[in-house]
Amino acid sequence: MIRLEKRPQPSRAWSMATPLVAVLATMVMGGLLFATLGKNPVEAIRTIFWEPLFGEFAFYYRPQLLVKGAPLVLIAIGLSLGFRAGIWNIGAEGQYIIGALTGAGVGLAFYPMESWIIFPLMVLAGAFGGWAWAMIPAVLKTRFGTNEILVSLMLVYVAEQLLASMSLGLMKNPEGFGFPGSRNLQQYDSAHNAELIAGTGMHWGVVAALIAVIFSYVLLNRHMLGYHIRLTGEAPRAAKFAGVKPARLILFCLGASGALAGLAGMFEVSGPSGQVSIDFNVGYGFTAIIVAFLGRLHPVGILLAGALMALTYIGGDIAQGNLGLPSAAIQVFQGMLLFFLLALDLLTNYRIAIGKPEVA
Amino acid sequence: MSTPPLLTIEGLTKAYPGVVANDHVSFTIGEGEVHALLGENGAGKSTLVKMIYGLVKPDSGRMTLRGASYKPAEPRQARADGIAMVFQHFSLFDALNVAENIALGMENPPALRDLAARIREVSEAYGLPLDPFRTVGDLSAGERQRVEIIRCLLQDPKLLIMDEPTSVLTPQEVEILFETLKKLKSEGTSILYISHKLEEIRALCDHATILRLGKNVGECVPRDTSARDMAELMVGTALKTPERGAREFGDVALDISGLSVPAPSAFGTTLKNVHLAVRRGEILGIGGVAGNGQDELLAVMSGEVTCARDAVKFDGKPIGHMGPTARRALGVLTAPEERLGHAAAPDMSLTENALLTGSVREGLENNGFLKWGATKTFAEKIIKAFDVRTPGPENAARSLSGGNLQKFVIGREVLQRPEVLVVNQPTWGVDAAAAAAIRQALLDLAANGAAVICISQDLDELMEISDNFAALNEGRLSAPRPTAELTVDEIGLMMGGAHGMEVAHV
């Protein structure tokens, strides 16, 4: 009989190894899935993981990796702070939208003036927008004890309505022949989040994501606030005994994740996307939740997970195009990754023992 | 005893990785005999009774029940063979009533109404008054224990195993329990009684088996053996009693006046008009049965629960509004009862747990940035000074045994040179030698001019170290009285007597 035995303390080796094992298990099971769909599994896996990096058109896909990975990492870093403390911001997608709206709004308000100050102001506005949107669930939770999961999630749909209203109304391009959507910020130099080195995909959002990773690492490992965040997540009563004020922590964690999501939205709207439009958001805010857990809520892990997730997105697109795989199969494939990771996570705290149970 | 043996145990051995919990233990329990199993924490008493109750399978050895070989595979089988057990920690649901709780533990529960009638019958027969329709959450610890006992008696057991039954009872409740046990014995039920309280064993038991480090180190007839002799058999060396040097009381350090705090949860206790003052150099003992406001009182002193400014004063300054960090800066330190999850974070390392309360007074942070080096040194200092058995400070708190973690938690506060130290159950689950060390540390602190409040359910402990004694009963604190003048009966009455229950009429 196979049983699980609790380890006396978490295994470091397994905690490092589970993401790799999870990726391997996903490849095997995903391959089986693709095989039953009548595709060559080796070819499909190779297309997803190899083609974007080293294939014939890698010069095009590699920059895409940064473009897709940066918002995921930026948002996931913010979310991980709250998740570590047991504060669940599920509404990063909404904060992302609002950050894009406030950021783009500031840029559009200055149009057509050219000045170096405009872009920094947009960055501040984007962060502020996301922060303010996250403060709604935060204040409601600290004041009235509402559930931040529900409130932040519901606000995503409010934000989507706002986005639609803005791209059809206030922010609509007056010279856009009546089409919905704002002016294209890519054509407005002072507000354009251009590539820092042409052809690499490296824009300010990528820089911000890397800074966020470093900042979060220092915060969690070297700072009292980070210690309090971890303590609250592991033992809320002990945190209270240590003098942590839960309300302050809620405001900080939701505020920080909102601000980072807002930043991600702002960098996206002023760069790769270019304009406020009805279909501006593509789910980065939700995928970032997966990225945060895939990276085990650890800053460096999130960086790697963000890259991996971006890879499966791009590789998945290629596989759809080249091999005719249905998009649902790609989504199942991505879902498997999270499933295996969470399932194998058990091995960090438990070991598998074979034999008859002796102690109840 | 000349009766034929009920249960014979021969050479029972059980080893866990790294430790032999039981090493060839043998003894015999006669019919209608009250047999004591005596030993320190970690001596292997629990493992032994778990083997008898079918929870643990022995590696080798034999058990014989009434002449037939007895190998219980699971507790259900042990129960079917007439063996029942009352655990130290109750497994009851607060939100259900007594009859529902008892029905949950039965194989084929009868209709609730019939069950209630049987509960009444049994409870009256054995002098354990209990209303089957009361909600368990409202019961005292003594009453909850009655639920567990009655649950066992309904099975009509031949052997009743009781694991440290008196640790949660007032002296009067202990008397009721003893009356019940004596009645059971007179009806021919055997009782295996586990305890480390020697006077109880001398009063109740016919025979005692003493375990030390998993081995059977002696047997005796408790009535004819002195408590000291039994204790030395149990510990293996001559006992060192903590020394209380002459102490001078200084000014009042901590002063609580007219404090009332509503219960934090449905099954918590409301503190009602609590007055308390402790002077420098004084140890104030606070007794009482568990669940009478101990946790709540500690939370008010630690700053986890804040109250009116003037309700709590330190050196005359109001601190009632301050949180834990501000109070630590002043020197008001606390050690809660619950080690895992409250005093320490289970999955964090000892170094990280040293930081939990040590950051302010030990200067372990610099503008919010953590000094891990200094924190590790502090953790190592605690481990060394309090003889915490662990490979090193990088180990998770949950990997330590309860007693070792307790030493760490108390040591962490003691080494921070407190002005006022409040501890709740400081030696709960700690072996005798370590308990003596902890008590000595508290006495030394007081001798050096700190004010100490010791909340405990162990009356012997409070008698041993406290200068004054007060008791908590349903959130009210009695007026403190000098410990030296008190008798056990008076203490029992201060603790709330037997909660209005009569002593059993047998």
pLDDT in tens, A269-292: 999 999 999 999 989 999 999 899
E strand or H helix that includes residue B294 = helix B294-302
- Within a domain: residue A165? yes
Task: Using CB atoms within 10 Å of the CB of residue A171, give its burial: 0 to 12 exposed, 13 to 18 middle, 19+ buried.
Answer: buried
> How far is the C-alpha of A281 from the C-alpha of A96, rounded, in Å?
8
Q: Which residue type sits at B493?
A: L
> How far is the C-alpha of A316 from the C-alpha of A58, rounded, in Å?
14
> How far is the C-alpha of A139 from the C-alpha of B110, rounded, in Å?
52
Domain that holds residue A306: 40-324
- B54 and B180: one domain? yes
Q: Which residues of B touch A241 (CB under 8 A)?
A: 302, 304, 324, 334, 336, 342-343, 356-357
- Within a domain: residue A10? no
- Within a domain: residue B504? no
Strands B159-163 and B60-65: unpaired
- Residue A262 has a pLDDT of 97
Cβ distance A9 to B398 less than 8 Å, yes or no, reads: yes
Q: Which residues of A touch B325 (CB under 8 A)?
A: 242-243
Surface of A (242-271) touching B: CB under 8 A: 242-243, 245
The answer to whether the bond into A8 is cis (omega within 30° of 0) is no
- Within a domain: residue A29? no
Last residue of a domain, one of B210, B235, B260: B235
- B144 and B265: one domain? no
3-state secondary structure of B334: strand
Handedness of CA B84, B87, B91, B97 (dihedral sign): positive
Domain that holds residue B267: 252-494
- Within a domain: residue A284? yes
- Per-residue confidence band for B460, with pLDDT thresholds at 50, 70 and 90: confident
> How far is the C-alpha of B165 from the C-alpha of B203, rounded, in Å?
14
E strand or H helix that includes residue A273 = none
Query: Do B423 and B442 meet the contact criterion of CB atoms below 8 Å apart?
Result: yes
Q: Which residue type sits at A155?
A: L
- Residue A56 has a pLDDT of 85
The vertex-B388 CA angle with B383 and B391, nearest 5°, equals 80
- Residue B3 has a pLDDT of 56
- Within a domain: residue A214? yes
Query: How close, in Å, is residue A13 to chain B by CA atoms?
Result: 15
Residue B201 tokens, joined: 């064993």
pLDDT tens digits for A195-206? 888 888 889 999
- B269 and B394: one domain? yes
Q: Which residue, chain included where needed, has tokens 């699980």?
A: A4
Q: Which of B79, B300, B348, B394 to mutate to test the interface with A (most CBs of A within 10 A)?
A: B348
Averaged pLDDT, A67-95: 96
- B338 and B285: one domain? yes
Number of domains chain A is built from: 1
Which CATH number is A180's domain given? 1.10.3470
- B53 and B143: one domain? yes
Last residue of a domain, one of B204, B235, B266: B235
Helices (H), chain A: 12-36, 41-49, 51-54, 58-84, 92-110, 118-144, 148-168, 204-222, 224-234, 236-242, 246-270, 284-294, 299-323, 327-349
> How far is the C-alpha of A78 from the C-alpha of B155, rounded, in Å?
58
Q: Which residue, chain included where needed, has tokens 């049965």?
A: B289
- Within a domain: residue A306? yes
- Residue B1 has a pLDDT of 44
Please, what is the end-to-end C-alpha distance for chain A in angstroms? 15
- Residue A23 has a pLDDT of 87
B240 has pLDDT over 70? no
Query: How close, in Å, is residue A319 to chain B by CA atoms?
Result: 43
Query: Do A288 and A294 meet the contact criterion of CB atoms below 8 Å apart?
Result: no
Last residue of a domain, one of B235, B264, B281: B235
Cβ distance B302 to A227 less than 8 Å, yes or no, reads: no
Q: Which residue, chain included where needed, has tokens 């895409």?
A: A64
- The answer for residues whose C-beta is within 8 angstroms of residue B251's C-beta and 6 or more apart is B279, B280, B315
- Within a domain: residue A187? yes
User: Whose CA is closest to A99, among A262, A259, A264?
Assistant: A262
- Per-residue confidence band for B195, with pLDDT thresholds at 50, 70 and 90: confident
Averaged pLDDT, A313-317: 90
Chain B interface includes A12 (CB < 8 A) = no
Query: Do B63 and B70 meet the contact criterion of CB atoms below 8 Å apart?
Result: yes
Q: How many beta-carbon pairs under 8 angstroms link A with B?
A: 81
> How far is the C-alpha of A154 from the C-alpha of A95, rounded, in Å?
12
Long-range contacts of B385-393 (CB under 8 A, 24+ apart): B385/B411, B385/B415, B386/B410, B386/B411, B386/B414, B386/B437, B386/B438, B386/B441, B387/B434, B387/B437, B388/B350, B390/B350, B392/B350, B393/B349, B393/B350, B393/B351, B393/B354
> How far is the C-alpha of B116 from the C-alpha of B100, rounded, in Å?
9
Query: Do B51 and B58 meet the contact criterion of CB atoms below 8 Å apart?
Result: yes
- B59 and B145: one domain? yes
- What are residue B313's DSSP bridge partners? B255, B318
Chain centroid to Cα A46, Å, comes to: 25
- The answer for residues whose C-beta is within 8 angstroms of residue A214's C-beta and 6 or more apart is A299
- Residue B362 has a pLDDT of 92
Residue B97 tokens, joined: 């009533």
The vertex-A338 CA angle with A335 and A340, nearest 5°, equals 105
* Among A155-169, B227-241, B435-449, the least confident range: B227-241
- Within a domain: residue B505? no
Q: HSE, CB side, 13 Å, CA atoms: give it for residue B239.
A: 17
Return the C-alpha torsion angle A346, A348, A350, A351, nearest 10. Answer: 110
- B156 and B40: one domain? yes
Q: Which residue, chain included where needed, has tokens 């309700």?
A: B311
Averaged pLDDT, B60-85: 88
SS3 labels along B377-426: HHHHHHHHHCCCCCCCCCCEHHHCCHHHHHHHHHHHHHCCCCCEEEEECC
Return the C-alpha torsion angle A288, A291, A293, A295, nearest 10. Answer: -140
Residue A314 tokens, joined: 């791009």
Which CATH number is B291's domain given? 3.40.50.300
Task: Using CB atoms within 10 Å of the CB of residue A163, give its burial: 0 to 12 exposed, 13 to 18 middle, 19+ buried.
Answer: buried
CB atoms within 10 A of CB A187: 10
Helix axes A299-323, A327-349, angle to 10 degrees: 150
- Residue B95 has a pLDDT of 86
Query: Do B180 and B187 meet the contact criterion of CB atoms below 8 Å apart?
Result: no
> How far is the C-alpha of B360 from the C-alpha of B374, rounded, in Å?
12
Cβ distance A8 to B348 less than 8 Å, yes or no, reads: no
Helix axes A224-234, A246-270, angle to 10 degrees: 110
Q: Which residue, chain included where needed, has tokens 């989040």?
A: A193
- Within a domain: residue A356? no
Residue A162 tokens, joined: 């706002």
Residue B106 tokens, joined: 């039965």
Task: Using CB atoms within 10 Å of the CB of residue A84, give its burial: 0 to 12 exposed, 13 to 18 middle, 19+ buried.
Answer: buried
Query: Do A248 and A330 meet the contact criterion of CB atoms below 8 Å apart?
Result: no
- Residue B237 has a pLDDT of 66
Q: Which residues of B touch A223 (CB under 8 A)?
A: 368-370
pLDDT tens digits for A224-267? 999 999 999 999 999 999 999 999 999 999 999 999 999 999 99
- B136 and B271: one domain? no
By Cβ distance, the residue of B343, B346, B398 closest to A241 is: B343
Per the prediction, chain B carries an average pLDDT of 86
Query: Do B393 and B351 meet the contact criterion of CB atoms below 8 Å apart?
Result: yes
- Within a domain: residue B502? no
Averaged pLDDT, B64-79: 88
- B277 and B419: one domain? yes
Chain B interface includes A227 (CB < 8 A) = yes
- B212 and B267: one domain? no
- Within a domain: residue B128? yes
- B182 and B285: one domain? no
Surface of A (68-127) touching B: CB under 8 A: none
- Within a domain: residue B374? yes
A1 has pLDDT over 80? no
Q: HSE, CB side, 13 Å, CA atoms: give it for residue B179.
A: 19
- B115 and B50: one domain? yes
Cβ distance A227 to B57 less than 8 Å, yes or no, reads: no
Cβ distance B338 to A237 less than 8 Å, yes or no, reads: yes
pLDDT tens digits for B118-143? 999 888 888 888 888 988 887 877 78
A10 has pLDDT over 80? no
- Within a domain: residue B243? no
Cβ distance B56 to A231 less than 8 Å, yes or no, reads: no
By Cβ distance, the residue of A223, A241, A358 closest to B336 is: A241
Number of domains chain B is built from: 2
